[in-house]
Amino acid sequence: MMLASKVDENGNSGSAGTVNSRTDVLVDFLRSTATTTAEMKLNISYPANGSQKLIEVEDERKLRDFMEKRMGAEVPGDNLGDEFKGYIFRITGGNDKQGFPMKQGVMHPTRVRLLLSEGHSCYRPRRTGERKRKSVRGCIVGMDLSVLALSIVKQGESDIPGLTDVVHPKRLGPKRATKIRRFFGLSKDDDVRKYVIRREVQPKKEGKKPYTKAPKIQRLVTPQRLQHKRHRIALKRRQAEKVKDEANEYAQILAKRVAEARAHKADARKRRASSMRK
């Protein structure tokens, strides 16, 4: 059964008006998406000071230098504005509009599905040996990204407020002995324990004095540790000698038993031969 479409005073059918309204809604949606796709956030980090800053760029022309570049590429930031003049950025990652992260080594400007296992980026296995197919974004920069992560390789002429003029020191210092030596430029003869970075702790109770805490140094070579090492080597050598002596003793007993069995077999053969002669 066919239903007749309603006709208004001007002679236009109701179905045509519905189609036009849907078309207008679709056009408005496309216009809104076209204006929002040009917006991109830049998460800029400055590892030397331990600081980072998130800026929003709405002009598509400022982002042209980053387009079609891969992760790890170095890009000058002169096109972003006067405050970024002389800066050089390295692309370290990013996320697309749906939140899927960029993966290094995937030479594709869109999203792909990869079978990932333990050790791969963008995936954390829940069980031992588990593999899973996950959606990741390729490492080539495009306009479909919502956030682009950058790292400052070379500082420019002027400071960026909130980024290069701010220093966030690390809360904890190095813990491993070799890293403490590398951090302070020490030799193997220097005592590392004097250079451990201590941090001040404020007690929760009122009236208590603040105290300092220091991490336990890992892989620190001390006389006690050398003694333990010598003791372990001595135990290992002693165990090896014990196993060797037991093996020799067992071989002698086995050879003796084999000789006795062979002699017994020879005697039995002689007795059998003599009885057959009789």
Pairwise CA distance, residues 87 & 151, whole Å: 10
Q: Is the pLDDT of residue 33 over 70?
A: no
Are 52 and 148 in a shared domain?
yes
- Does one domain contain both 247 and 210? no
Domain contains 249: yes
pLDDT digits (tens, 9 = 90+) for 217-241: 999 988 999 999 999 999 999 999 9
CA distances from 268 to 53, 90, 188, 257, 260 (A): 97, 91, 75, 16, 12
Is the same domain home to 103 and 185?
A: no
Per-residue pLDDT, 24: 64
CA-based Rg of the chain, rounded to a whole angstrom? Answer: 38
Domain shared by 129 and 229, yes or no: no
> Concatenated DSSP letters for 49-117?
TTEEEEEEE--GGGGGGGTTPBTT-EEE-GGG-GGGTT-EEEEEEEEETT-PBB-TT---SSEEEEEE-
Mean pLDDT value of segment 199-215? 89
Q: Note the pLDDT of residue 22.
A: 62
Query: Quick check: pTM over 0.85?
Result: no
Domain identity same for 242 and 268 = yes
Read off the tokens for 213: 């805490």
Secondary structure letter of residue 195 according to DSSP: G
Q: Are residues 105 and 188 in the same domain?
A: no
Query: How far from 183 is each of 123, 153, 177, 199, CA to CA, in Å?
Result: 32, 21, 10, 17
Structure tokens at 112: 């792909």
What is the residue range of 192's domain?
170-219
Last residue of a domain, one of 186, 203, 219: 219
